Amino acid sequence: MSLLRVGLFVNKEKRGAFELLLELVEYFNKEKIAFLLEDSTARLIGQRGISISRFSEEVDLILVAGGDGTIIRIAHEIFPSPVPILGVNTGSLGFLTAVSREEILPQLPNILQGRFRKSPRMVLKAVGCAYGNNFEIPCSLNDIVLFRGAFSHMATIDVFAQGNLVTEFQSDGLVVSTPTGSTAYALSTGGPIIMPESEVFTLNPICPHTLTNRSLVFPEEVTLRFSIPLGGGPVRLEYDGIAYGDLHPGDWLEIEASPKKVILGFLEERNFFEILRRKLRWSGATVEE
């Protein structure tokens, strides 16, 4: 069996990432395994690399050392490429990373032979109009958020599903979340935890003024439209933690599931419930690791 062509990216801001890079490069050189380095990663060791956007054309797997934010960044860069992203956790929580810092070298022989689980993840895309200018967000892996930001007023947002009015939300904001994002910001709003490969997405109010407002779950074929009514005041827009700008009365946003997926890699023996127990510290009298 031929080995996978691997591209390496490390987040130099993460503690221990540089040392891990040296270990990985030493391993590949010692085993005479061809690999590619991303530009900024290559410069850490005085070499030349290629842009992350070119990885999708040159490699079969992108090995990323960092945290969840690093993986999301790489997903944005290569989207809509189907090349799997496999993360080595040098961050904190690490829901999207496949292996720990200590596990990666022992697991590399299996990974390089393609013995890992590919997990296709839903991505949200959005189009909208602000100040009379159209814009597009092609890829959001976790969530798209409309919220009041630094403004003191409550956010007022009209929401429509397939052209039908859902309701006028009055709250601190709304989180539209993928299954992947259900364990991110949406979780803190009281939203449900969703199996990561499910084909649904959620609408979660942030601190709603009406206590009967609860999270809604939509099938992937639904399109949601958000509009800011007159007198509603500005609302801030972010996707995957990236600030995009403000929406004002008369502006609108449409969100739907993209037909393209982001592919994440995980160890074959690791399942979602194990990750939940480890990362969220779920426990019970009869649950043992």
Domains and CATH numbers, the chain: 6-116+267-280 (3.40.50.10330), 123-259 (2.60.200.30)
Q: How far is it, in rounded angstroms, from Cα 45 to Cα 53?
A: 20
How many other C-beta atoms are found inside a 10 Å radius of the C-beta of residue 184? 22
**202 bridge partner residues:** 177, 217
Q: What is the pLDDT of residues 65-108, one digit of tens each?
A: 999 999 999 999 999 999 999 999 886 667 899 898 899 999 99
How many other C-beta atoms are found inside a 10 Å radius of the C-beta of residue 57? 10
Q: Please name the residue ranges forming H helices in the chain.
A: 17-30, 39-43, 52-58, 68-78, 104-112, 185-188, 272-279
pLDDT at 272: 87
pTM: 0.93
Q: How far is it, in rounded angstroms, from Cα 37 to Cα 104?
A: 17
Binding site residue list for NAD(+): 68-69, 73, 142-143, 153, 172, 183-188
Q: How far is it, in rounded angstroms, from Cα 5 to Cα 179?
A: 29
User: What is the percent of the chain with per-residue pLDDT over 90, rounded to a whole number?
Assistant: 76
Nearest to 51 by CA among 40, 62, 60: 40
pLDDT at 233: 77
pLDDT at position 269 over 90:
no
The answer to which of 51-60, 117-126, 236-245 has the lowest mean pLDDT is 51-60
pLDDT at 91: 66
User: What is the percent of the chain with per-residue pLDDT over 70, rounded to a whole number?
Assistant: 96
Residue range 209-235: mean pLDDT, rounded: 91
For the chain, give the mean pLDDT: 92
Asked, as a colleague might, if the bond just before 179 is cis with ω within 30 of 0, I would say: no
Q: What are the residue numbers of the active site?
A: 68
